[in-house]
Amino acid sequence: MNGLELQGVTAVVTGGSSGIGLATAELFLAAGAAVSICGRDADRLQTAAAALRSQFPQAQLHAQACNVLDPAQVQAFAADSERALGAASILVNNAGQGRVSTFADTTDAAWTEELQLKFFSVIHPTRAFLPQLRSQAKPAIVCVNSLLAAQPEPHMVATSAARAGIKNLVRSMATEFAPAGIRVNGILVGLIESGQWRRRFEAREDKAQDWAAWTGELAARKRIPLQRLGLPQEAARAIFFLASPASSYTTGSHIDVSGGLSHHA
């Protein structure tokens, strides 16, 4: 098996019903992996699963509604996934949106909610799938994170702080899990096309402005050197690299997928 072929491998993707998670599941299936996805919205998850089965008729695919903040649901998902597809070799932790708030207007409840979402959406799946990963020959964990982890924004103070914590957690897990051969890495995404951005587009003031013009203005306003938003598939390719044997000597690292928006060293 080379680094771009995943026959005989089971990959798990949380938040796999849309966006980066769905694009990552597509790449894994195209490489021959068996894929297990989960998401909170059962209807949207089944729609995604149907689309994947249509695109990959011979695919080994397991889809299960699961709230990653509920440890019992995550343990059940891990057990059901293993029964359906075998032990996981790859775990992609992908969940959570950004919270727009400043220090002044972030309540204690909002801080608690944001920190719980960002941390436990990684902790619960990692804890649940760790026994499976330990049993595999070339296990890998990839955490989808944000550029905010290294380049915080004052209007997203809680999310920035939580994202920085996850970046640190990736490094800690990479060191702890290395003796077991489990690699742990992450990606730092900038502005990626998503349902969240689509909703903001639908709420735009100038209804005559199309998506390309609106996102072009957004990219210019945010000073993105590549002058556009990223695509979920572009983030997924970075995830695929870190999850596959192509990055076999890489752990505790992050790939920047921000179109040049990064200004940190």
**Quick one: tokens of 131?**
């026994």
Domain extent, residue 224, equals 193-229
Residue 262 inside a domain? The answer is no
Residue 47 inside a domain? The answer is yes
Q: Are 49 and 179 in a shared domain?
A: yes
**pLDDT tens-digit map of 36-63:** 999 999 999 999 999 999 999 999 999 9
Residue 1 inside a domain? The answer is no
Residue 145 inside a domain? The answer is yes
b or e along 146-178 (b: 16 or more beta carbons within 10 Å of the residue's beta carbon)?
bbbbbbbeeebbbbbbbbbbbbebbbebbeebe
Judge whether residue 152 has pLDDT over 80: yes
Residue 264 inside a domain? The answer is no
**pLDDT tens-digit map of 69-111:** 999 999 999 999 999 999 999 999 997 778 899 999 999 999 9
Q: Are 80 and 207 in a shared domain?
A: no
8 A C-beta contact, residue 61 and residue 68: no
8 A C-beta contact, residue 38 and residue 64: yes
Q: Which CATH number characterizes residue 108's domain?
A: 3.40.50.720
Nearest in space to 96 (alpha carbons), one of 113, 77, 117: 117
* 61-65/34-39 β-pairing: parallel
Domain count, the chain: 2
User: What is the model's pTM?
Assistant: 0.95
